[in-house]
Structure 1
Amino acid sequence: MAARDTNSWETAIAKIEPHDVIVRGERMSELIGNASFAEVTYLILSGKRATKGQARVLEALLVSVMDHSIAPSSTVARLLASYGVPIQAAIAGGALTFGDIQGGAGQELARNLSGIVQQVAADGDVTDEALRNAAKELVADSRARRVPLDGFGHPQHDPDFRTPILLELAKKEGVFSHHSALLSHLEDALAEAIGRRVGANIDGASAALLLDLGLKPDVARALIVTPRTVGLAAHYLEEIEQGNTWRHVPAAQVTYTGVLPEES
């Protein structure tokens, strides 16, 4: 395979003109004041204009993750603020906390949901029964391997109040489809397997909804990081306004477990 010329750049996202910017075939000058943040987000990510229903669901999803009080991401942003770093560095530091454990589980679940729906479609019609059976198989496999099911449970919300609101809105706006249905069946299958209901969290809801919106699975983390930067900025500014400097773990909460020097 011939090596690409790394000095040559190609993009189908946007094109700069002397007095405008073309974004996915649309003029930025015409989008300004006429399209919402969610609509342009959808346009940039998918290359298509969102329907009113799609835009409303995406807007709701972006709002639902804008802030979550003192959490891992805001803790890091506030720590960095107290050390005197610029606001952009603190926001970037907070955003870097979104990974497989916190805030980023939706990406892996989105990949799984997408793969399952594609497999069900390859085997025949994507019926509700087929999705229910696929959900039971995934839960059984997860339990057999003793691997937690991504996108379920929340340490502070039992259940996560955002999920039913978003899924109900998706139904109302005609966005709720195979992936959201599969998520609901996974919740039922998990409850049946363990004897108690563990609701789908915001990672689970975002994973299913972004797929039903027609977006790619790897967009999952971006859809959490993007609006959360606003919350992180607010935490940074509040930390500065409070006059906090050099935040750290209190010495009384630090236990030394290393070797001690011998007494002379």
Structure 2
Amino acid sequence: MKRTLALILALALTLTLFAGCGTGNQAASPSPSGATGTPAPSDSAKPSESAKTEGYELALVTDLGTIDDKSFNQGAWEGVKKYATENNLTYQYYQPAEGTNAAYLEAIGLAIKGGAKVVVTPGFLFEVPIYEAQTKYPNTKFILLDGEPHTEDYKTYKTEANVQPILYAEEEAGFMAGYAAVKDGFTKLGFMGGLAVPAVIRYGHGYLQGAEVAAKEMGLKEGSIQAIYNYSGDFNASPEKQAKAAGWYGSGTEVIFACGGSV
């Protein structure tokens, strides 16, 4: 999934930048040390002299995960790096201090203050922040992965011209995971999601549907497929989640579809 996401993002960046993302120049200035949402250290090459004075042209703002979460953040970061490297652009990522709309907006603001012409935001958690940012920063381009800008109460959906939303059919990927698991001979399945949000729910539902279809094709008796289904409540790794997974395996679960950042 990471590789596919990176390729999709690289294509989106191409389309966004060719659409004229450089029409508005925000003055770049370094953010104060220790401030909320300050840029995190990146493994990018040393910036050129112009980059040192003008800031970073391309920015990723992470959600609750990290750039090595083997999920949306890592896939998005790899896409940003790939595109920036191939097109000689400077790039950076920013980590919000906490998982709130205000913190996401502050990190977005710091990225733009640092010179970002295009800001990439991975995941549905940015739907409300981007709804506000798209009008607050009309000269900046935004790529919103797996979401559409809307108000906090979900009553108003609006996408301005400077936003490129990319939506996925997570249920299809989940379906293939469940289908392949049963076709490979597994009948005791587990699904461990992060937060019970639309994207994760679609993965899980698709997973169970794929398993059911595969079982029917193979002529398995009704009830042959056993599944344990759980949402952990966040996207972080923890000893508790490891213990739960170990318990599932100990009780006979053969394969677990982990769907939720570092879960």
TM-score by length of 2: 0.25
Give the number of the structure whose residues are more often strand, by fraction.
2
Q: Which has the higher contact order (CA 8 A, sep 6+)?
A: 1
TM-score by length of 1: 0.25
Mark the structure with the bigger radius of gyration. Answer: 1
Give the number of the structure whose residues are more often helix, by fraction.
1
